[in-house]
Amino acid sequence: MALSREYLSDAFAGTSLFEAKTWQLSPEAWPLTVAQVDELKEIGQACLHFHQALENLYLRALADKNLLRNRALKAPWVPEYLDRGKPRRLLEHAHDPRQRGQFPRVLRPDLLLTDDGFAMTELDSVPGGIGLTAFLNRLYAESGNILGTADQMLTAFHGSLAAQAPRTTNPVIAIVVSEESATYRPEMKWLADQLQMRGLRVFCLDIEEVFPLGSTLCFDIEGNPEKIDVLYRFFELHDLSNLSTADFIFEAWSAGELAVTPPMRPFQEEKMGAALFHHHLLADYWREALPAGSFKRLRKLFPHSWVIDPAPLPPGAVLDGPSAGGRPLANWEQLAEASKKERDLIIKISGFHESAWGARSVVYGADCSRKQWQAGIDVALADAPRNLHVLQDYHKPRRIGHPLYPAHPADAPAESVERQGRLRLCPYYFVRGDQTELAGALATFCPPDKKIIHGMQDAALLPCRIVE
């Protein structure tokens, strides 16, 4: 069943889920086949397996232990890459033995739909869109066979967080949003309100609203302090130095009074994970550490990626990387000589930086001038002592059609029109133990001229429905 523009407009007017954000409307949820949904479920499990293998790689390399069962392989450069530029206190927290086995409770890969299937550009551990997707699932429910319901998203989100709580009976969960992430505060507030209506103690708070009381972390309810059991961290780790209450979070966690998720382990939030997966020196490790099905799936999903490390090479050596001018690279500066065809590549900062999200650091070589490409390389090399950048093959999303309502209804008929565009799919997986639950997916449908797909005014944000 198609939803009218009037119905959709009224629903969005009554619930602002993003501050000062608008997008295009569609009468239909995005269609996914049963086979695609089955594949998405397998992708979720592979993402968790990847996190488990990455943790093992990081901790064993940090301890200078062997990585393989029957052959010598050590990689002390892996934690050096992943820890670069991080403050000592955060690293000490991440290395605490109590953190072993702690993974993000919500996993959201960014998947592009290409001619060859899905390509995963990154794996987000602090994703926005949870409340928005639940809202859209409910809004489009009458159109039929939606992938995940609003109730499923809400139940899965709460269940995955509550399982972390020091106390098990209706724990207090605080979704804490920093000023940098304020754009997402309305949807997080909606999420908390929906769970409160179920009798669950979930609250959306500004970072300044939490305070210490003894060894606990609290917030104020009608003049009385309320102890927080689980803090859902909706802020990036690079932002910790700007948060006046950061010390209190560390102290309450150290005292065993507070669970924090996603865990404050910066190695879990670096985009260079894809480059480590493809690194030729680690190929045997990943093959041994991952279940065969997940290894095969991740090999197909992750675009080939490299860490832009300007460390000098000995004479005659070449980089493990793409070619420029038809020749292998002896240093990263030579990447500037790549032809337009050879520049079908993305440069982006790996993590722990304010430009590491929202496509703000992305430079697409085939879609920019040589001068802009040179500037992107220069930034990556200059930043390397503190913030490494990643070079990644660009997998072009394929063109596909979907009905949209005209952007300016006063100047156009109210009927929807089939439009061409490109798709990014963001499935939401909620982790419980060693299993992931696919509870919904957010489709971002952009005009075909947009090379980098993300939420924007020209895009449509849609839930997904299952079709035969």
As given in the structure block, the two tokens for residue 149 are: 């319901």
- The residue-averaged pLDDT of 15-38 equals 86
Q: pLDDT class for 143, splitting at 50, 70, 90?
A: confident
The answer to whether position 92 is within a domain reads: no
Per-residue pLDDT, 456: 61
Q: What amino acid is encoded at 333 in this protein? A: E
The per-residue pLDDT of the chain, averaged, comes to: 92
Q: pLDDT class for 9, splitting at 50, 70, 90?
A: confident
Per-residue pLDDT, 404: 94
By C-alpha distance, which of 303, 283, 386 is closest to 347? 303
As given in the structure block, the two tokens for residue 304 are: 């080939």
Please tell me the total count of domains within the chain.
1
Q: Which residues contact 152 (CB under 8 A, 6 or more apart)?
A: 137, 439, 440
Q: Is the pLDDT of residue 166 over 90?
A: no
Residue 400 in contact with residue 124, Cβ under 8 Å? Answer: no
Q: What amino acid is encoded at 467 in this protein? A: V
User: 3-class secondary structure for 138-154?
Assistant: HHCHHHCCECCCHHHHH
The answer to whether position 414 is within a domain reads: no
Per-residue pLDDT, 132: 93
* 271-283 confidence digits (pLDDT tens): 999 999 999 999 9
Buried-state track 303-341, b at ≥16 Cβ within 10 A, e below 16? bbbbbbbeeeeeeeeebebbbbeeeebeebebbbebeee
Per-residue pLDDT, 360: 73
Q: pLDDT class for 20, splitting at 50, 70, 90?
A: low
The answer to whether position 356 is within a domain reads: yes
Per-residue pLDDT, 230: 97
The answer to whether position 442 is within a domain reads: no
Q: pLDDT class for 235, splitting at 50, 70, 90?
A: very high
Per-residue pLDDT, 354: 76
* Domain, as residue range, for 346: 304-393
- The residue-averaged pLDDT of 194-214 equals 96
The answer to whether position 110 is within a domain reads: no
Per-residue pLDDT, 451: 67
The answer to which of 1-10, 14-23, 133-142, 245-254 has the lowest mean pLDDT is 14-23
Q: Is the pLDDT of residue 409 over 70?
A: no
The answer to whether position 374 is within a domain reads: yes
The answer to whether position 382 is within a domain reads: yes
Q: What are phi and psi of 213, to 5 degrees?
A: -140, 100
Per-residue pLDDT, 454: 59
Q: Is the pLDDT of residue 77 over 90?
A: yes
- The residue-averaged pLDDT of 5-16 equals 85
Dihedral sign from CA coordinates of 32, 38, 42, 48: positive
The answer to whether position 315 is within a domain reads: yes
Q: pLDDT class for 150, splitting at 50, 70, 90?
A: confident
Per-residue pLDDT, 180: 87
User: 3-class secondary structure for the chain?
Assistant: CCCCHHHHHHHHHHCCCCCCCCCECCCCCEEEEHHHHHHHHHHHHHHHHHHHHHHHHHHHHHCCCCCCCCCCCCCCHHHHHHHCCCCHHHHHHHHCHHHCCCCCCEEEEEEEEECCEEEEEEEECCCCCHHHHHHHHHHCHHHCCECCCHHHHHHHHHHHHHCCCCCCCCCCEEEEECCCCHHHHHHHHHHHHHHHCCCCCEEEEEHHHCEEECCEEEEEECCEEEECCEEEEECCHHHHHHCCCHHHHHHHHHCCCCEEECCCCHHHHCCCHHHHHHCHHHHHHHHHHCCHHHHHHHHHHCCCEEEECCCCCCCCCCCCCCEECCEECCCHHHHHHCCCCCCCEEEEECCCCCCCCCCCCCEEHHHCCHHHHHHHHHHHHHHCCCCCEEEEECCCECCEEEEECCCCHHHCCCCCEEEEEEEEEEEEEEEECCEEEEEEEEEEEECCCCCCCCCCCCCEEECEEEEC
- The residue-averaged pLDDT of 337-360 equals 85
pTM reported for the whole predicted model: 0.94
Residue 131 in contact with residue 185, Cβ under 8 Å? Answer: no
Residue 445 in contact with residue 459, Cβ under 8 Å? Answer: yes
Per-residue pLDDT, 54: 98
